[in-house]
Amino acid sequence: MKVDVLLGLQWGDEGKGKVVDVLTPKYDIIARFQGGPNAGHSLEFNNIKHVLHLIPSGVFHENKLNIIGNGVVLDPIVFVKEYNELIKLGVDLKKNLVISKKTHLILPTHRTLDAASEAAKGATKIGSTLRGIGPTYMDKTGRNGLRVGDTLLPDFKERYNSLKAKHAEILKQYNFEYNIDEQEKEWLASIEVLKQFKLVDSEHIVNNAIKKNQTILAEGAQGTLLDIDFGSYPYVTSSNTICAGACTGLGVAPRSIGEVFGIVKAYCTRVGSGPFPTEQINAQGEELRKKGCEYGATTGRPRRCGWLDLVALKYSIAINGVTQIILTKSDVLSGMAKIPVCTHYKIDGQLTDEFPYSIENGLEPVYAELDGWNEDITTCKTYDSLPVNLKKYIQFIEKETGVPVSIVSVGPNREQTIVR
Ligand code: GDP
Ligand code: IMO
Ligand code: MG
């Protein structure tokens, strides 16, 4: 079978974790292909909320194989914490998880470098999650990185020390005070735990599964507008968050990609710095944050909130070849009399619906105003039972993007999902 890809079409936190959990019963394998502990994927069932950072969101279903692919960057400390939490819940990752030997390791000094770089940038900081993501991908592309497979080598400790010494030199230039003694102890102990896992060449597992007609769901992290190439650079993450990232991050040929599920929040949020054309720094933005509980699942930071941006969405759909939209959090919009949706940008007096090189300055979003609905939709079980104006909102998105909305999520819980 082909590999289906599920990814975020906005600035992350679209509800990917929840939807992966809902779709998992249809798949044999769930695989993460990029990003790392900067991700926070929430899912909820039996009234308990779980937040995953590194572990694929299929992990709560039995008899599924979960893969951490080569495109991911892994912090052993975060990994072991997550492993221990899951054990308490009766999930034994040693049975249902494999990790690519080619996955790059986040060192304590990568985290320090992230902090030093952000401090040096001052007002222009990225607002990173400070999880060491940027510096780790820099070492990967700079060909200095350490990989999970290296932990099995007899000279791993020397390799670690050598990379740490390189980082120390860079940190001197930043003039950045730091002490990683405690972190380093925990990191080295976590490496020993990591080594007890199935460390594999996951590209073989994935390609053999494709040949055997098994079903695979690739789970994206972050969102398309945070992509290193196509996002709002430099206010982006350091990996390819787009569909192509699933090819490089798992070793899947482009022709083996099947459905591309684009997760879309019914409005927009962003955490960290960077431009956000439809942001509402006002009472309406505040209302969205409050009703949508828009606080970061990884850092707890308040998320910036604004209206749905169809210019950006159409761009994301094109870059990813999205075949189905999955709309989340429309329940948060209940009770709003009018719902603005950005259809165009006005740049130098001209209307355009083409996402421009820069969205930082001189751009004015142009809105269509749709009628809202008052009904609480969180208990709706069928598409037909949704309020007429929400259906009109969905039809508007479908007409503008040319892509069907195949699933509507009406709450954080597994059960609060309407499949059309
Ligand atoms: P992810 O990073 O894309 O997995 O998304 P996050 O987990 O960071 O953020 C999404 C938040 O919205 C989480 O708190 C989810 O529990 C919640 N959520 C997901 N889908 C829905 C939905 O349809 N309605 C509501 N109200 N909350 C949702
Ligand atoms: P999930 O998978 C939302 C943002 C950070 C920052 C920028 C760079 O939960 O959707 P990084 O630490 O990657 O160098 O930070 O990207 N960011 C996210 N925003 N959701 C995420 O992941 C994010 N991962 C990173 O806030 O602006
Ligand atoms: Mg998140």
| pLDDT in the model for residue 31 | 98
Ligand 2 nearest-atom number relative to CA 8: 10
Tell me how many degrees the CA angle 107-72-218 measures, rounded to the nearest 5: 160
**Which stretches of the chain score pLDDT less than 50?**
none
Q: Are strands 48-52 and 41-45 parallel, antiparallel or unpaired?
A: antiparallel
**Are 55 and 97 within 8 A, CB to CB?**
yes
Ligand nearest to the CA of 220: 2
pTM, full prediction: 0.98
Q: What residues line ligand 1, using a CB cutoff of 6 Å?
A: 8, 12-18, 40-42, 44, 293, 297, 328-329, 331-332, 409-412
| Interval between CA 70 and ligand 3 midpoint (Å) | 21
From the CA of 346, how far away is ligand 1's center (Å)? 31
418's enclosing H/E stretch is: strand 417-419
Mutation test residue for ligand 1: of 329, 336, 416, the one with most atoms within 8 Å of CB: 329
Q: For the segment 71-88, what is each residue's pLDDT rounded down to a tens digit?
A: 999 999 999 999 999 999
pLDDT value of residue 66 = 98
Per the CB < 8 A criterion, the answer to whether 270 and 11 are in contact is yes
What are the Cα distances from residue 196, in Å, to 8, 95, 374? 32, 11, 53
CB of 33 closer than 8 Å to CB of 71? yes
What would the pLDDT profile of 368-416 be if each residue is shown by its tens digit?
999 999 999 999 999 999 999 999 999 999 999 999 999 999 999 999 9
Residue with tokens 């999205």: 322
At residue 240's C-alpha, the angle toward residues 52 and 260, to 5°, is 75
Whether cis (ω within 30° of 0) applies to the bond prior to 234 is yes
Kindly give the residue spans of alpha helices, DSSP state H, lying in 148-305: 156-174, 181-194, 202-211, 243-250, 283-291
List the catalytic residue out of 41, 53, 104, 110.
41
In order, the DSSP letters of 201-228 are: -HHHHHHHHHHTT--EEEE--S-GGG-T
Report pLDDT for 80: 98
Q: At what angle do helices 76-88 and 181-194 cross, to 10 degrees?
A: 60
Would you state the pLDDT for residue 40? Answer: 97
